[in-house]
Amino acid sequence: MLSKVPEVTLIFWIVKVAATTLGETGGDSVTMTLNWGYLAGTLLFLGLLIALVIAQMAEKFHPFLYWATIVASTTFGTTMADFADRSLGIGYTGGSLLLLTCLVAILALWYWSQGTISVATVSTPKVEGFYWAAITFSQTLGTALGDWIADTGGLGYEGGALIFAVGLALLASLYFWTNVSRVLLFWAAFILTRPLGATVGDFLDKPTSDGGLALSRPLASAVIAIFIVLCITLLPQRAGRHPSVAEA
């Protein structure tokens, strides 16, 4: 049986980081450049995300549909985190703690229901529901973490990107040289790639006075989107295989 998630290879992580960067610049394009505001942007991308998740559940694994859903979850995560911080006044610290609690709760429910949270088992509508809920919370958490490190932590966008890159390098070391659970490492890496992409996206489009390059958000988004399409087209991805015995 085939999973509805692509095989987790190097190209998966390359496209994932690009998708999270696109989520940051794309979300900012709608809420800031087009001046829709955080609430309208959040509702727009939530609707798009729900539509794509439903389509994803109805189809076999399709790379473009899968990554479009990932991008939608990252743009929703961007606008939702900004809405919580700047409109609701929760702050990045409070938002990060709240989102971490929600993510842990979703993963706990998934494990309680299925006995595993391995993405290799994402092949039924019920498991897909758990998977996309966990993905959405992890993307939003990653956005809040990236902003918290860069802004509240005072490290700036370059410092934030460096922190998360080091964290990912540490996870890669654990993957290659230890027997730490691959499922645990996957989710840790999935969360950390989001703030890495977020800080890179902020670095590209924020004003130079704030430490960014002040590039056009729509232009940066278009370039990143083209890169993702080329990666998917030139480096085809296969669906992962559902293991006979799920890894816990």
Q: Are 48 and 240 in contact (CB under 8 A)?
A: no
> Binning pLDDT at 50, 70 and 90, where does residue 248 land?
very low
**d(C-alpha 134, C-alpha 105), whole Å:** 9
Helix-, strand-, coil-residue percentages of the chain, each rounded to 5 = 75, 5, 20
6-10, 126-130, 165-169, 235-239: least confidently modelled range: 235-239
> Binning pLDDT at 50, 70 and 90, where does residue 72 land?
very high
Q: Are 158 and 123 in contact (CB under 8 A)?
A: no
Q: What is this structure's pTM?
A: 0.87
Residue 2 confidence (pLDDT): 65
pLDDT greater than 90 at residue 164: no
What six digits make up the tokens of 48?
A: 């798009």
